[in-house]
Each structure stands twice: as C-alpha cells, then as structure tokens.
Structure 1
C-alpha cells in the first residue's frame, strides 16, 4: 500500500487495542508521538524506524519495541498490545497478536500467583 502525499517517507499505521485511564506512550525514532487507543497513522522518514511503547500506572510498564524498515511511500503496520496486569510486558509486532501470545509471564505475576495460592490453601486447610 502506498501513500501519495508522503513521497520522501512512509507511514507507520499504529494500532493499540484497549481503553482505560492509563494512556499509552509511544516513541518513534526516539521522538514522542501523541498516542491514543485505536489506529493512527504516523509519518516517518524512509529507512529503519524504531517504535517503542509503554503505559504508565504508578510507574512505566508494558515496554515493547520493534524495528521496522519503511520504504518511501509505504505503509507499515505495527500493533502494540498493552499488558492486562501491572508488571507484565507489552507485545509489539507487525501482525496482530492473538490469544495467549499477548500475555507474557513475569516474575511479579509469579509472585502474585504464589501469594494468592498460599492464602487459598490456608483458607482451605483451616
């Protein structure tokens, strides 16, 4: 797909599914880009483009990064999926993440599951 009004560069079509009070933060080639949930087009120069994203809730989390080669006049699609729980990483890819690929385990998640399991077992054995 080509963009007629972007001859010297291309476009990153950024898709961020979701909603909520914690807005995503996106950097394209270390430049802060206004981001929102949904789909938006970000004009970029032709060549290697690095897209970084995260969300902030008490602290930055859900970091993800993807390098994309953009041809002059081309549209490259990038999907960023914020994590569903604090402490989990985000997922960024050029294809739509589906199913459990969106959810990557983290040490914080393992600790939370272990603590909940202890409380449940304590309640059952009482």
Structure 2
C-alpha cells in the first residue's frame, strides 16, 4: 500500500514548477509506484496561458478550484473549466490552457510519467524511455 499526503510532496523533487512560472505539479504517484498511471495535484496560476500537447500520454484533468478554459488548437474550440469540471485528452489534443483565476487540478496520466518531465517546445512530455536514456 502507498500512502502519501500533499504535505509529504511539497518542497521535494516531486514538487515540480514550470520554468515560466505558469504551474506547479505536485506528483503524488509516479511510474516507479508501478500502478500504470500517475496522479498529480496541479496548480495553474491566474492569468497564465500554457501550450500543452501530450503526444505520448493520455491525460484526464478534474478541476477542484478556480476557473479557466481549454482551447483546442486544431479547431479553436473553447471549453470553459470551473470547479467540478473534468476534461480528458483522449485524442492527444494540442491545446491552450488558460487560467482566469488560480485553478487547482487533479491530473491522471497514462502511461505514467517518471516525475522529471517538463514541457518541451511543443508542450509535450517525452516518453519515459527517452528520459531514462537521456535523449
């Protein structure tokens, strides 16, 4: 059994912050926990816009605080996000995430991330095997 609290994560290597200051990802469960998914408690800071394109992962996101929107870049469709809303990137959609107020999100990734990922120039995380190989 794995038992962790958010307080166990904050300030450790599992508490990852975007270089541009847009978000903080507190990574509760990772690939090395061997569950087949990873689980994150993520803060998206108010007034930010982040390009994201998880080419190698599927993600489900549940908003528990705040308001914002997701815009799919392929067709410009905008989806409002507020507490109680879930969105799932089941087609690896490239999107813009905008926070009108600070948002707190619970995120699940499959395959699970290793924990050291940050967004590349495309807004993607590289597959874990590439990270492990130092590519």
**Fold shared per TM-score above 0.5:** no
| TM-score normalised to structure 1 length | 0.31
Q: Higher helix share goes to which structure?
A: 1
- Larger radius of gyration between Structure 1 and Structure 2: 1
Which of structures 1 and 2 has the larger relative contact order (alpha carbons within 8 angstroms, sep 6+)? Answer: 2
